[in-house]
Structure 1
């Protein structure tokens, strides 16, 4: 597993050339199930746990944005106060992950975000491939299946529904709204 990141620097630096291909090319949305082994998934879970503990003064997601955007894009009344903040990659999707050997790429979005943000983002970008979305939930359940993880899912759904409103990620709208209904049903 490799984690290519510049946490100590203000500018990204190239540490190593990465010869392993990304899971998807040119887009974050997964459209076909990747062939990833247990070591890859264990490496991803370990990387996300490690990233969350790295101190950061950078901000990936702002509370002020959530206060405004969550009610607007979710269409439900919700407490927008983030229950827990951790450091996140900030742009964890399939075009920023390599396989079959794991390397996490593209670190310019790193910073503080709601706990579980990276796992929630990867799950959302997996929704068009239900078996992989289920595997993300199973493999990263220790992150997603918590109050903070569920809140992070609402944050990601907010962000992606905003992109739908701009004409992007249109194919994700229905699965995002279905997931929103699961998260907000009482």
Structure 2
């Protein structure tokens, strides 16, 4: 999904991936592997006695391991209904090497490709059948009703970040909360048959957060962002949905400030301006200086 990180990180992760393969008694396949953001994860196909599987390796500093991100996929396997299409988590193991901790997760192999293979941003219209959109809508409705104490987006973050990155002082009180996948972009969705990947960050978020994220990552292809609105408009075209869009835009503008997702910046600012014009009376207070 992301480019290979600097050599030291790459060598460390490849060594750990081989270690995880040995500990799980699987054989590394020759197929290319997939890197996560800044080399935090490394994933790839492996072979087992009963067929192919998918091995995902996660790295964290030892003092940051065992938190909610670390435990997310296992919690999803326990709590999210099996009707939501996702790969089954077969086995997992964790180990520590000094200041570095690693988590190896062995999943069912998903043959369907992800909608995008070069990152979360959509650049061209995918050929997705109506049944895909119906399955997505059903899955998001199911996830939104899952009871959990996991938190994906915190009110304290919104209070601080939304005025800063939107350039407006607004009422940052979340209108409604629900459970979300939390990272619903095009590189975490397969097609033409839907599977939803990467469940490490799921939890409570502003209602409509998943739909808002998919819409935002579609802004460079207006035809597809329109499709998202067509199929998920009853979520997005509400006060809560518009607020969720502003939340996602805030998060991505923050990544822009770190040099990431820069090709989206102009579209993010344009969409934010449109949403802020429609904010109900009393929610937008005043524009701040840049």
Match of 2:109 in 1: 17
Match of 1:107 in 2: 199
Structure holding more strand per residue: 2
2:221 matched to 1:139? no
Residues 89 and 109 (structure 1 numbering): CA distance in 2 closer, same or farther, change over 3 Å? same
Match of 2:248 in 1: 156
User: Higher relative CO (CA 8 A, sep ≥ 6), structure 1 or 2?
Assistant: 1
Alignment of 1:30-179 (within 5 A): 30-179=122-271
Residues 77 and 22 (structure 1 numbering): CA distance in 2 closer, same or farther, change over 3 Å? same
Normalising to structure 2: TM-score of the pair? 0.60
| In structure 2, distance between residues paired with 1:47 and 1:35 | 20
| In structure 2, distance between residues paired with 1:157 and 1:50 | 24
The structure number with the bigger radius of gyration is 2
* Structure 2 gap ranges (5+): 1-83, 90-102, 279-290
* Structure 1 gap ranges (5+): none
Residues 117 and 5 (structure 1 numbering): CA distance in 2 closer, same or farther, change over 3 Å? farther
Larger CA deviation: 14-23 vs 30-39 = 14-23
Question: Cα distance, 1:17 vs. partner?
Answer: 1.3
Is the 2:188–2:198 Cα contact (8 Å) retained in structure 1? yes
| In structure 1, distance between residues paired with 2:171 and 2:158 | 10
Is the 1:5–1:107 Cα contact (8 Å) retained in structure 2? no
Match of 1:2 in 2: 85
SS of equivalent residue, structure 1 residue 149: helix
